[in-house]
Amino acid sequence: MSQIFDGVNHNQVGLSETQMGEILGQGIFHVRAYGAQGKGQSDDTSAIQDAINAVPSSGGIVYGDGRFKITSTITMKPRVRLEGPVGQYRGAGQQQGFQFLWAGANDGTMMTYLDSPYCEMRGVNFDGGSGDGITGVTAILIDSDNDPHVYSLDFSDFGIQRCTTGIKINTSGVTGTQSSDIRLSNFEISELDMTSGKGIHTNSQNVDNVIIEMGRFYNLRYGIYMERVGFLNIRNCTAGFDTGVGDFIWASIHGNLLIENCQAETGGGYFLLIPSSAPANTQDMITLISNTVDLGIDIQVDRGIVSIGNRYNADFTLSGDSERVISIGDIFTSTYDFLLTGTNPSVDRIVTLPTADYYGLDHYHRNTSGYNRPKMTMHGWLSDSTQTVTLGAFTTDCYVTNVHIQVTELFNSNGTDNISVGVTGDHEYFATNTDVSSTGIKTVTLGTGADHEASPTAVVAYYANGGTEPTTGKALVILEYVKVSAEIA
């Protein structure tokens, strides 16, 4: 037997030496040829590692099919493609495909890509054994503790289940390290720890240019949890949470974020949460396109936001002070809306463009000539000490489309309190008395003056207590209107 077959048991795969030579000559390294059994019973860790180590520096394919029990970490090397039968990789307890079954210690890692660029993975499944008395397992760790960094990784057609973390990227804490150009596609990550389980997790160090597409996240605490990442694209992904509270995307991003054609349903968490700990920069853009948002969105830092053709079945909260939003063709169902809760809650920061169908918030007024005019706003705060406030003044030819009232602090008058919006002499001209005896967003009925205004008019919000004089209380009043040019009125 030639030297290239030293340590290789070709009988394990039922291939002749000639056939083995053909395979190895093409750069394919079958793990069974190195002694792996693939029956989920014996420990195949060393055999799989031997197959990987046999790949030359020029690269090659490590192939397997079966259930391979491992008890310690498999270490990948550069330019290795790990491959199994495509289409047989997903689902807890799956009996086919190239599967890794963890039988090691708690808090273990199944596979590491440490300083291993130019790697691919296709048709592989990872089962962390959670529920079998094993906890804290990470399926895949992508990391770097020196230069060169980890880059150019392409993982597709894979599955991860019963772990605490699916894929963890850059957690070494080494200053200056970076992982970049990572693509994860056509996968399922499911049945993770519902308390802290993270499907895809970056931690503290810089990660750039990550594409996540055609993925399914199911029953885990966080689908995508990015503590520091720049230039993140998430496309055609779904998330579902049958039990507990789960967030689809939690991102402390320092670059641009694109979310396109995604859906997260059920559960009580967020579709997207940008935390207050994220870097604040209105030049960093968040773009949402054609998503179905059944969970809420909360942007807690200043960002530029473009929202196109999304259907919002939950509120879109802007908790920062200087976000800028362009909304094009979005639909808000029921009473859901953009909510501004920061210290500068100016709806002037939201610019909307027309949509063929809309509910709740009237983003646009379409006049009889078929022209659209952009929404404009004026706002003010009422409180226990400021019970009348001028919101602004109309110029000529303005049309009121909506009035919003949000009580952020309870008025303690011990009675039925009301807020209205109108003009001197008619306090309910634009919005009739609205009960504000509790906190939250209120349903407002427009007054008789919510119509075409031909002359300049000052707009005033009024608070009226229904009991004793309050010593606490605060409410935001926002009036939306459009200006219709005289030549098309």
Helix (H) or strand (E) holding 48: helix 45-53
Answer whether residue 458 shows pLDDT above 70: yes
Instruction: Name the token pair of 261.
Output: 């054609």
Tell me the CB-side half-sphere exposure of residue 482, using CA atoms within 13 A: 22
Answer whether residue 262 shows pLDDT above 70: yes
How many residues are present in the chain? 489
Domain locations along the chain: 73-268, 281-363, 377-488
**pLDDT attached to residue 275:** 87
pTM of the model as a whole: 0.69
Tens digit of each residue's pLDDT (9 = 90 or more) over 182-205 = 899 999 998 887 788 899 988 755
Nearest residue to 246 via CA among 191, 167, 287, 301: 191
Tens digit of each residue's pLDDT (9 = 90 or more) over 381-432 = 999 999 999 988 887 777 888 899 989 889 988 888 999 999 988 999 999 9
**pLDDT attached to residue 372:** 42
Lowest mean pLDDT among 8-17, 214-223, 441-450: 8-17
Please say whether the beta carbons of 360 and 413 come within 8 A: no
**Mean pLDDT for the chain overall:** 80
**pLDDT attached to residue 70:** 97
Q: Which of 173-177, 208-212, 226-230 has the highest mean pLDDT?
A: 208-212
Tens digit of each residue's pLDDT (9 = 90 or more) over 96-132 = 679 999 999 999 999 999 878 899 999 999 999 866 6
Rounded mean pLDDT, 265-286: 79
Tens digit of each residue's pLDDT (9 = 90 or more) over 302-330 = 778 888 889 998 888 888 766 678 888 88
Lowest mean pLDDT among 27-41, 344-358, 474-488: 344-358
Rounded mean pLDDT, 372-378: 64
3-state secondary structure of 393: strand
3-state secondary structure of 10: helix
Instruction: Name the token pair of 482.
Output: 């459009």
User: Regarding predicted confidence, which is higher, 480 or 349?
Assistant: 480
Tens digit of each residue's pLDDT (9 = 90 or more) over 85-94 = 875 544 444 4
Instruction: Name the token pair of 91.
Output: 């689902």
Instruction: Name the token pair of 396.
Output: 């000529």
Rounded mean pLDDT, 155-168: 92
3-state secondary structure of 319: coil
**pLDDT attached to residue 12:** 54
**pLDDT attached to residue 295:** 87
Band of pLDDT at residue 34, cut at 50, 70 and 90: very high
Separation CA 271–CA 57 (nearest Å): 42
Place of tokens 């953009």: 338
Architecture of domain 377-488: Sandwich (2.60)
**pLDDT attached to residue 50:** 95
**pLDDT attached to residue 452:** 65
**pLDDT attached to residue 255:** 76
